[in-house]
């Protein structure tokens, strides 16, 4: 249990617990009670630090967005290093996608954010952070049309993996990516 004398520790614990709960049960089934139990804090701490459940979820997803920003920078760096051929570029993007999907809770969290953003306008900027960021990275490696198509493919793969619980076969994914790059 996080100490009452460590307000920043409690706040951090609540944000981390929120990300975990959202990834496990989705935004619609996330409750103050589930978050408090996961964080090991009294139920009242959730509203002490965050006035509403939506505020808590938005803050937790914003914090997760910082990780997504770092991932996008890493993806761009690794993809730029592979720009020798379409095959190499497609291979690196395939590996990055499969690496991302290996962390199922995190992949589900992104899908949950997309779905929640459709119902909660306050969450749309957070969802757009990854969506537009990925599109920009991939457009800088090709052109805007190809970047858009590749980002749409990646998001579709993420959604399918969230539904099926399985990543696509690497060879099929790489083939699709190569077709879009050509």
**What spatial distance separates the first Cα and last Cα of the chain, rounded to whole Å?**
54
Give whole-number Cα distances, 1 to 14, 33, 42, 85, in Å. Answer: 11, 15, 9, 52
> Which among 8, 17, 24 is positioned nearest to 53, based on CA atoms?
17
At residue 124, the pLDDT reads 85
Q: pLDDT tens digit string along 143-180?
A: 999 999 999 999 999 989 988 989 999 999 999 999 99
At residue 1, the pLDDT reads 56
Q: pLDDT tens digit string along 50-91?
A: 999 989 988 988 888 888 899 999 999 999 999 889 999 999
| Weakest mean pLDDT among 13-27, 31-45, 86-100, 113-127 | 113-127
Residue carrying structure tokens 């953003």: 117
Where do the domains of the chain lie, and which CATH numbers do they carry? 7-181 (1.10.357.10)
Residue carrying structure tokens 């291979």: 91
pTM: predicted TM-score of the whole model, two decimal places: 0.82
Whether residue 24 contacts residue 41, with contact meaning beta carbons closer than 8 Å, is answered with no
Average of per-residue pLDDT across 96-107: 90
Burial class (CB in 10 A: 0-12, 13-18, 19+), 155: middle
Give the residue, 122 or 12, on which the prediction is more confident: 12
% of the chain beyond a pLDDT of 90: 62
At residue 4, the pLDDT reads 60
Tell me the helix, strand and coil percentages in the chain, rounded to 5. Answer: 80, 0, 20
Residue carrying structure tokens 């761009």: 76
Sequence-distant (6+) residues with CB within 8 A of 138 are: 79, 146, 147, 148, 150, 151, 154
């Amino acid at each position: 249990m996080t100490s009452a004398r460590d307000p920043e520790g409690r706040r951090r614990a609540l944000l981390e617990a929120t990300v975990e709960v959202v990834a496990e049960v989705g935004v619609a089934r996330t409750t103050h009670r589930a978050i408090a139990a996961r964080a090991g804090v009294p139920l009242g701490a959730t509203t002490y630090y965050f006035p509403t459940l939506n505020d808590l979820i938005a803050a937790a997803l914003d914090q997760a967005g910082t990780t997504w920003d770092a991932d996008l920078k890493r993806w761009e760096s690794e993809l730029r290093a592979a720009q020798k051929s379409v095959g190499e570029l497609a291979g690196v993007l395939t590996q990055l996608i499969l690496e991302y999907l290996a962390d199922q809770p995190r992949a589900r969290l992104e899908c949950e954010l997309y779905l929640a953003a459709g119902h909660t306008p306050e969450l749309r900027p957070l969802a757009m952070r990854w969506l537009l960021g990925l599109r920009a990275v991939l457009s800088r490696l090709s052109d805007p049309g190809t970047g858009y198509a590749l980002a749409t493919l990646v998001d579709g793969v993420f959604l399918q993996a969230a539904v099926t619980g399985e990543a696509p076969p690497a060879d099929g994914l790489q083939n699709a990516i190569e077709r879009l790059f050509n």
